[in-house]
Chain A
Amino acid sequence: MYALLVNSGLSTEAVALLPRIETLVVVLFFGLFAMSFDFISGYTGYLSFGHAAFYGTGAYVVALAANGKLPLLGPETPFMLLLVFAGVAAAVLALAIGSVSFRLSGVYFAMITLGFSQVLYVFVRNWDFVSSAPRDGVAVTGTLEGFRIGVPGVDGWNVAIGQLTGDSIEGLFGFINLSPTEVSFYAVGAVVLVCYLAMQRLVHSPFGRTLIAIRENEERARAIGYNTYAYKLGAFVASGFFAGIAGALFVGFRRSVTPENGFYFLVAGDALLVSIIGGFGTLAGPLYGELFNAGVREFLSKEGGGGGLLPYLRANVGDATLTTELYNGLTVAEAIETFLNGHAALYVGLLFVLFVLYVPNGLLGTVRDRMGGTLATAVPRRVRRWLGE
């Protein structure tokens, strides 16, 4: 698709508009994190503002294991196993945090989870065991090989992921050629898909229905006889597990993690942001939200490597326009630099406010409302009606 558009007549516009494949990998694993956040917050209504703790735990488990710093998990441990360990570690942490936090509700719950995650953040930031400069985070130095996704132990069924260390595939089925990043995209995507389906299964089970009942009216759910505490805790642990996997995938692809992009509370803030834009309380929504968020950020990114608005404007807007004075000596070129250069957060933030005010159901939620059901049920119904049945 991408190749088709880039090579078409609209190539310049396509390069500028479409996110690059590197960004799409980020969309996948961060989308999974946002989904896990939405799984607890969107479905039970408990705002887990410290969710970054689980993401960071997963990320650090993989980074430390790959550097040979964890007992029992050497650098040789298969990545698939590390994924599970990262998830389990995060789930155990979620059990510990959740068992205390779910005695509270509302704002207090948001604050105690925030408190726990900040304790961990400050701790990791200053703990010289993780690396010689803990503030700068951990880079994977223990192994030069890429992390392999596939069936552990069967070499032929494994592909390495990572920007520089990944495998490339040539001539699969005779005609499929994939660059290392594209391989990572599909491999990470497969893991994310499995996790998504698992969460989807949970949401549509009686367990998931109970969570929604808790969100809508917790007292009534308790009155019917549900042990709401156990249900919330169970959901929190499951959510922590998937957040841990998301963090593990993040390190698997990027090969480094810092306290700022792993444990800091604004990481959970980003998950919140994309959940709202995508649709709070819809499992797939956060993925679209993150796609949107990453797309906008890349579109307005500083260097615009391979795409983005800035190079497009620089290349295609005439010099006469660029040097025109707008206001008080501010030229168009300067205005572009000032307001567009890497300040995507401004526009994403504005958009976020507008969404909260006017589109509280988010992209996917609104589409569902319009269609009158989930897409999987509504689209065939529409098509059938359209075909005159």
Chain B
Amino acid sequence: MASLAPAGPALPLQFADALIEFLSPSTLADVIVRGIAKASLYVMIAAGLTLVFGLMGVLNFAHGSLTMLGAYLGGLVLVAAVAQSTGGVGRLLAFGVAVVVAFGALAALGGGIEVGLVRPIYDRPPLYQILLTFGVTLVLDELARIVVLFYGLQPTTVWQDVLGTKPTFLADSIGVTGVSASGLELFQILFGVATVVGVHLFLTRTRYGLFVRAGSEDSEMLSALGVDVNRVFTVVFALGTGIAGAAGVLLAWDPAWGASVPLAAETLLPAFVVVIVGGLGTFRGTVVAALIVGLVDSSMTWWFQNFVDFTGLPEMVVFLVLVITLIVKPQGLYGVSEVGGH
């Protein structure tokens, strides 16, 4: 590189170099592993959103705030639990406990929101559900800010304590045949795959999953068949927000995200991108879109680090993916023209 002429006319040559470097197997493998790890995070954040939209046609603007609450709640459990035990396995167990706690608490909160706030306005235009959940976001964010300030959890943005509760082997990088990935990334991939499989099994193998799939086709027919649709709605909303909470706990361990109040908006937007690109309400689309967005994100991060001098490149390209998808395929990758069964 040093022998090349400085910037200007040499730029195309450098671009070619960068392209060759990017396409080399080791770089590509690296980028792909990172991308899948990111995709796992995205699918965790977006899964709940797509479940809720698929069945009820409610675009839940509060989803990011619920993720943020999950991150704090899980973080609290993690910090408290690590004071008790220190070993790597113990910390993984503590993580499991934190996920269960965050899932349970947020599922309860989500169920409450559905029963108390969303249910009364099902018969209004869908616009009002967006408005309502947007209002819920404002309230939840501000409440979180008050609590955080009052207990002095953090003066700045990232709650560093939680990052310290990771088992040490997750921070190390593990090399397999020339490809190196950090333990945390592998852990995230594992967690994401488990969630995808879990939700898929729920939708295809359980009685409730059957109701959900039927309800997103035609909820009136479902209720005519004697199913308590309101209860299905509540359960799915609770499940969706619960997954958001679990995603929050996963994010709390990732130094790139961490637990903070702005996490609400930071997760909401990628979740929207993933859900819309995949096609609102289709779980398969969401998984595929998360993979696409994750891979685009990780490759753009590589380009930014090696060639393009523009800090916002990955983030901007992610939103461009959204815009281009909507232009080319207005319903998203797997979307159907009519969504929301009621």
Chain A contact residues, CB within 8 Å of chain B? 45, 47, 100, 103-104, 106-108, 110-112, 114-116, 118-119, 122-123, 125-126, 265-266, 269, 272-273, 276, 338-339, 343, 345-346, 348-350, 352-353, 356-357, 360
Residue contact B138 to A122, C-beta cutoff 8 Å: no
Q: Which residue of A lies closest to B124 (CB)?
A: A360
Q: Which residue of B lies closest to A344 (CB)?
A: B142
Partner of B330, one of A103, A110, A123: A103
Residue contact B146 to A343, C-beta cutoff 8 Å: yes
CB distance from B171 to the nearest CB of A (A): 29
Tell me if B232 is interfacial: C-beta within 8 Å of chain A: no
Residue contact A349 to B146, C-beta cutoff 8 Å: no
Residues of B within 8 A of A112 (CB): 322-323, 326-327
Partner of A352, one of B135, B141, B146, B265: B135
Q: How far is the CA of A114 from the CA of B141 in the complex (A)?
A: 20
Residues of A within 8 A of B272 (CB): 111, 114
Residues of A within 8 A of B269 (CB): 114, 118, 265
Q: How far is the CA of A265 from the CA of B322 in the complex (A)?
A: 15
Residue contact A111 to B276, C-beta cutoff 8 Å: yes
Question: How many chain-B residues does the 8 Å CB contact rule pick out?
Answer: 45
Q: How far is the CA of A108 from the CA of B328 in the complex (A)?
A: 13
Residue contact A115 to B323, C-beta cutoff 8 Å: yes
Residues of A within 8 A of B121 (CB): 356-357
Residue contact B276 to A353, C-beta cutoff 8 Å: no
Residue contact B142 to A349, C-beta cutoff 8 Å: yes
Residue contact B127 to A47, C-beta cutoff 8 Å: yes
With A45-B127, A104-B326: A115-B135 Cβ-Cβ less than 8 Å: no
Chain B contact residues, CB within 8 Å of chain A? 59, 117, 120-121, 124-128, 130-132, 134-139, 141-143, 145-146, 149-150, 265, 269, 272-273, 276, 280, 310-313, 315-316, 319-320, 322-323, 326-327, 330-331
Residues of A within 8 A of B322 (CB): 111-112, 115
With A343-B146, A349-B138: A125-B59 Cβ-Cβ less than 8 Å: no
Residue contact A353 to B124, C-beta cutoff 8 Å: no
Residue contact B312 to A126, C-beta cutoff 8 Å: yes
CB distance from A377 to the nearest CB of B (A): 27
Q: How far is the CA of A224 from the CA of B126 in the complex (A)?
A: 25
Q: How far is the CA of A212 from the CA of B164 in the complex (A)?
A: 56
CB distance from B297 to the nearest CB of A (A): 13
Partner of A116, one of B131, B139, B323: B323
Residue contact A107 to B146, C-beta cutoff 8 Å: no
Residues of A within 8 A of B134 (CB): 269, 272-273, 352
With A272-B131, A356-B135: A119-B59 Cβ-Cβ less than 8 Å: no
- List 5 A–B pairs whose Cβ atoms lie within 8 Å, in order of A's numbering: A112-B327, A115-B273, A115-B322, A119-B319, A338-B149
Residues of A within 8 A of B117 (CB): 353, 357
Residues of B within 8 A of A338 (CB): 146, 149-150
Residues of A within 8 A of B139 (CB): 346, 349-350, 353
Residue contact A122 to B319, C-beta cutoff 8 Å: yes
Residue contact B319 to A118, C-beta cutoff 8 Å: yes
Q: Which of A108, A111, A123, A276 has most B Cβ within 10 Å?
A: A111
CB distance from A164 to the nearest CB of B (A): 31
Given A115-B326, A343-B145, A349-B137, 6 extra CB contacts under 8 A: A103-B330, A107-B130, A115-B322, A126-B311, A272-B131, A272-B134
Q: How far is the CA of A338 from the CA of B130 in the complex (A)?
A: 29
With A266-B265, A269-B134, A353-B117: A107-B142 Cβ-Cβ less than 8 Å: no
Partner of A339, one of B120, B137, B146, B330: B146
Q: How far is the CA of A222 from the CA of B91 in the complex (A)?
A: 62
Q: How far is the CA of A110 from the CA of B280 in the complex (A)?
A: 13
Q: How far is the CA of A195 from the CA of B76 in the complex (A)?
A: 51
Residue contact B142 to A111, C-beta cutoff 8 Å: no
Residue contact B316 to A123, C-beta cutoff 8 Å: yes
CB distance from B87 to the nearest CB of A (A): 35
With A47-B130, A343-B145, A356-B131: A126-B310 Cβ-Cβ less than 8 Å: yes
Residue contact B330 to A106, C-beta cutoff 8 Å: no
CB distance from A131 to the nearest CB of B (A): 14
Residue contact B130 to A110, C-beta cutoff 8 Å: yes
Residues of B within 8 A of A100 (CB): 323, 327
Residues of A within 8 A of B320 (CB): 119
Partner of A345, one of B141, B280, B311: B141
Q: How far is the CA of A226 from the CA of B330 in the complex (A)?
A: 23
CB distance from A349 to the nearest CB of B (A): 3
Q: How far is the CA of A346 from the CA of B136 in the complex (A)?
A: 10
Q: How far is the CA of A107 from the CA of B272 in the complex (A)?
A: 11
